Amino acid sequence: MKGSNGILRLTELSPGQSGCVVRLLRENGSGRHFMKLMAMGIYPGANLELLRRSPTYVFRSGYSQFAIDADLAHMVLIDIDEKGFQ
């Protein structure tokens, strides 16, 4: 774990927290979900910031914002960055 807060799932972040994607989990035949995340540019090494948790998970990556459901958000592992979105 690189960050002092460790690695968390996107579903565990609070709005305003940001970090670097370290892994996308592939669970229970979630190949379609995995490909959807990759199409959004969410892959290991990508930076993102959680903007909102409800009613969907809204995050910023680069100059784009995305809304995803809890199943997709649960697949994304983030190394928390205490300095903020980069």
| Averaged pLDDT, 51-55 | 96
pLDDT in tens, 25-45: 886 666 787 888 888 889 999
Query: For the chain, what's the residue count?
Result: 86
pLDDT at 82: 65
pLDDT at 3: 43
pLDDT at 29: 60
β-bridge pairing 64-68 and 57-61:
antiparallel
Contact 9, 79 (CB under 8 A): no
CATH architecture assignment, domain 7-81? Roll (2.30)
Q: What are the extents of the domains in the chain? A: 7-81
**Least confident interval from 31-35, 54-58, 81-85:** 81-85
pLDDT at 7: 93
Q: Is the pLDDT of residue 2 over 50?
A: no
Cα 21 from Cα 4, distance rounded (Å) = 15
